[in-house]
Chain A
Amino acid sequence: MKNSLMRLPALVALSMLMAASATSVRAASSEDDYKAAYAAAEAANSEAGKLRNQWTTAVSALKDAKAAAAAGDFDKAVAESRKSETLSKAAIFQSNEQKDAWRKMEIR
């Protein structure tokens, strides 16, 4: 009982910290945030393109980011840009991994 009482302030503090961090995540993104996130996503998509392996979902997310920014929704624009960047980075990883791995599937 004593132990659980002692843990309570720690739990409250933790909850407050979590709430604070959640609030900071929810803080509105600015146009500059969007521009930085979009540039990073575009660079990753372009690199995937050089490897001849862009993913349709990465390209769609880029378009959605642009559309959201045009509508003034920078939170969504940043989120879509980050999603696109993550997908393109996965495409780049896939291409590099497949440079040799494709032979494992070859009929011999």
Chain B
Amino acid sequence: MRLSFRSAAMGVVLAALTSASVQMAHAADSPNPPADLKAFQKYFTDKFPKLKLKDFVNGPYSMDKGLYKQWKEKEEFPPYEFALAAGKEMFEKPFKNGKTFADCFPHKGIGIRQNYPYFDEKQGKVVTLELAVNQCLESNGEKPLSYTKDDMASVTAYMAFTSRGKPFDIKIPKDPRALAAYENGKRYFYTRRGQLNFSCATCHVQTPGNHIRAEILAPALGILNAMPIYRSAWGGMGTTSRRFTTCNSQVRAVPLTPQDDEYRDLEYYLSYVSNGLPISGPGARP
């Protein structure tokens, strides 16, 4: 009798413990973007205690004194200047119907980069700035731009330039689809792929500041704040789409189509966890 009482009591304790651990596991796995953001930013500020939070947007230039010096000199005659001028011209040039990009965006498209990407509840998907640019063109009877080439980089460079210094302010509305998109982006970021078995996090979380061949890896925190970028390695401008597709190729994974769900969701996740950091685009990278 005593034994059965003991075993019953132990059973209750065990059940309570099991229930608690299940709840803890559940809590740990439940999507919690604000907690993710806090942990993400803490990870990087702990890893690089000498860096100010806002300096993470300068990528590898914040990780190496020599590179920082080169960058400061480069910024006197920035390599993205031509793209910026071309982008301004494209942005202001009327479409065939007389409208311009300004008619498609809030605040006439000026100083709004920090709010992209956003979750569009009508479309039920994440809308990036690049996608919004093409949706604007198509809705006005114009041909969409290539997501990876110069014209898209130029237009978004101009839009980013007008938003410089404004902190990323990405919102996740109370819509389960938005949370699902955020989670999908997070999953993509941490998933290993390609023959090299790398995830985005392998380079940009585990090893930022380290060399990979001649390059210094940028931290994931603030990595999109400088987009689009002029890359010396490319000898030209590149969009976020170009960056994602080339990252995939570099780990020997076949890139997805630019602006596929996974890429837009990835951009949503990465931008959200960089909330509060200033827009610094267009940027220049080695």
**Number of contacts between A and B (CB, 8 Å)?**
55
Number of interface residues of B (CB under 8 A): 26
Across-interface contacts of A49 in B (CB, < 8 A): 254
B95 interface contact, C-beta 8 A:
no
B177 interface contact, C-beta 8 A:
no
Number of interface residues of A (CB under 8 A): 21
A54 interface contact, C-beta 8 A:
yes
Binary contact track B73-92/A, C-beta < 8 Å → 1, others 0: 00000000000000000000
Across-interface contacts of B186 in A (CB, < 8 A): 106
> Which applies to chain A's interface (DSSP): helix, strand, loop or mixed?
helix
Across-interface contacts of A55 in B (CB, < 8 A): 194-195, 252-254
Q: How far is the CA of A23 from the CA of B69 in the complex (A)?
A: 63
Query: When A59-B254, A98-B191, A102-B199 are in contact, do A107 and B262 touch as well, CB less than 8 Å?
Result: no
Is there contact, CB below 8 Å, between B254 and A107? no
- Contact for A102 among B29, B40, B187, CB less than 8 A: B187
Q: How far is the CA of A101 from the CA of B186 in the complex (A)?
A: 13
Is there contact, CB below 8 Å, between A105 and B201? yes
> Which applies to chain B's interface (DSSP): helix, strand, loop or mixed?
helix
Is there contact, CB below 8 Å, between B28 and A54? no
Binary contact track B174-205/A, C-beta < 8 Å → 1, others 0: 00000000000011001111110101011001
Query: When A87-B195, A102-B199 are in contact, do A56 and B190 touch as well, CB less than 8 Å?
Result: no
Q: How far is the CA of A102 from the CA of B202 in the complex (A)?
A: 11
Residues of B with Cβ closer than 8 Å to A?
Answer: 28-29, 36, 39-40, 43, 186-187, 190-195, 197, 199, 201-202, 205-206, 249, 252-254, 256, 262
Query: When A102-B199, A107-B39, A108-B39 are in contact, do A56 and B205 touch as well, CB less than 8 Å?
Result: no
- Contact for A106 among B190, B193, B194, B202, CB less than 8 A: B190
Q: How far is the CA of A94 from the CA of B36 in the complex (A)?
A: 25
Is there contact, CB below 8 Å, between A53 and B190? no
- Contact for B205 among A53, A101, A105, CB less than 8 A: A105
Show 9 residue pairs from A and B whose CB-CB distance is below 8 angstroms, ordered by the A residue: A52-B262, A53-B194, A54-B254, A94-B192, A98-B191, A98-B192, A105-B190, A105-B201, A107-B43
